[in-house]
Chains A and B, each alone.
Chain A
Amino acid sequence: MFEAKLTEGLILKKIVESIKDIVTDVNIDISPSGISLQAMDSSHVALVSLNLSMDGFEHYRADTNMVLGVSIANLAKVMKLADNNDQITLQADQEATHLKIIFENPKTERTTEFNLNLITIDSEHLAIPETEYSSVVTINSGEFSKICKELFSLSETVQITTNTDYVQFSVEGEVGSGQVRLGHNDSEKKEDQTILEVSESVQQQFAIRYLNMFNKASTLSSFTRLCLHQEQPLVVEFKIDNLGVLKYFLAPKISD
């Protein structure tokens, strides 16, 4: 038996919106301590990893580990039934064939229920090692979104360079070339802060198209954390207050 109730259902709705363009069918792993999922995009260059702790739920019960195979596209359609102020409850029996999703609005007394059919997914589960990233950049999520969006209109690829003084996003395309450079900024206004933790400089190139997809999660968190390490995938991380973390991994582009 699994049951989890989230008071702020909007968070779950935002999570589904933030991953639905990247992954299609996903195994959701239920454990007594929380909910997690890991899935790659169809081209296997990006990976989504979500971890939600049971502590963030108003009510959480999972007697055993369970795997719920879900079509994210269909889950997104079901989530459209939820009002932004709804509480969301997820329920599944042992050996379940469907996931019951309940939306409740205590103010308007409206309740919506949907039984989403589960699917069997044969997916690879990768072991992601604990990595000491040599450059970690914490940046306002709205600002990072805007930088990626605007640079994408100029180039398909962005080069991210870090050093102890700044992080630089540079592009080179038919239009020309240029860069956005952000220095370490620990101003009193928290939302303006850019925090650089660089032990070793990194220079890597990435497909901006993916970064734009990841940035859909910027509504989940005020800050985006970029973790870089030469020869390793970039991690774009969004902390979800009191609930968990949504991480995206993206393979760097390398010269052929």
Chain B
Amino acid sequence: KFKQKDMTYFFKNK
């Protein structure tokens, strides 16, 4: 099965 990572995994909080 597939999963998608959260955007915050790729881009850090400002």
Residues of A in contact with B (beta carbons under 8 Å apart)? 40, 43-47, 124-129, 157, 205, 207, 232-233, 249, 251-256
Contact of A233 among B3, B7, B14 (CB under 8 A): B7
A252 touches B11 (CB 8 A): no
Shortest Cβ-Cβ A-B pairs, 10 listed:
A126-B11, A253-B2, A45-B4, A44-B6, A125-B14, A251-B4, A127-B14, A256-B1, A256-B3, A47-B7
Q: How far is the CA of A254 from the CA of B9 in the complex (A)?
A: 13
Q: Which residues of B contact A251 (CB under 8 A)?
A: 4-7, 9-10
B7 touches A254 (CB 8 A): no
Nearest residue (CB) in A for B5 is A251
21 example contacts (A-B, Cβ-Cβ < 8 A) are as follows: A44-B6, A45-B5, A45-B6, A46-B7, A124-B8, A124-B13, A126-B8, A126-B11, A126-B13, A128-B11, A157-B2, A205-B2, A207-B4, A233-B10, A249-B7, A251-B4, A251-B7, A251-B10, A252-B4, A253-B4, A254-B5
Contact of B2 among A43, A47, A125, A255 (CB under 8 A): A255
Q: How far is the CA of A125 from the CA of B11 in the complex (A)?
A: 9
Q: How far is the CA of A251 from the CA of B8 in the complex (A)?
A: 10
A125 touches B7 (CB 8 A): no
Q: Which residues of B contact A46 (CB under 8 A)?
A: 7
Give the interface size bracket for B toward A: 10 to 19
A-B contacts at CB below 8 angstroms, number: 57
Q: How far is the CA of A187 from the CA of B8 in the complex (A)?
A: 40
Nearest residue (CB) in A for B12 is A127
Q: How far is the CA of A255 from the CA of B11 in the complex (A)?
A: 21
A127 touches B2 (CB 8 A): no
Q: How far is the CA of A44 from the CA of B7 in the complex (A)?
A: 6
Q: Which residues of A contact B5 (CB under 8 A)?
A: 45, 251-252, 254
Q: How far is the CA of A155 from the CA of B9 in the complex (A)?
A: 26
Q: How far is the CA of A43 from the CA of B6 in the complex (A)?
A: 8
Q: How far is the CA of A109 from the CA of B4 in the complex (A)?
A: 50
Q: With A45-B6, A126-B12 given, can you name 12 additional A-B contacts, CB distance below 8 Å?
A: A126-B11, A127-B13, A232-B10, A233-B7, A233-B10, A251-B5, A251-B6, A251-B7, A253-B2, A253-B4, A255-B1, A256-B1
B11 to chain A minimum Cβ distance, whole angstroms, is 4
Q: How far is the CA of A228 from the CA of B7 in the complex (A)?
A: 15
Q: Which residues of B contact A207 (CB under 8 A)?
A: 4
Q: How far is the CA of A232 from the CA of B1 in the complex (A)?
A: 19
Q: How far is the CA of A252 from the CA of B9 in the complex (A)?
A: 12
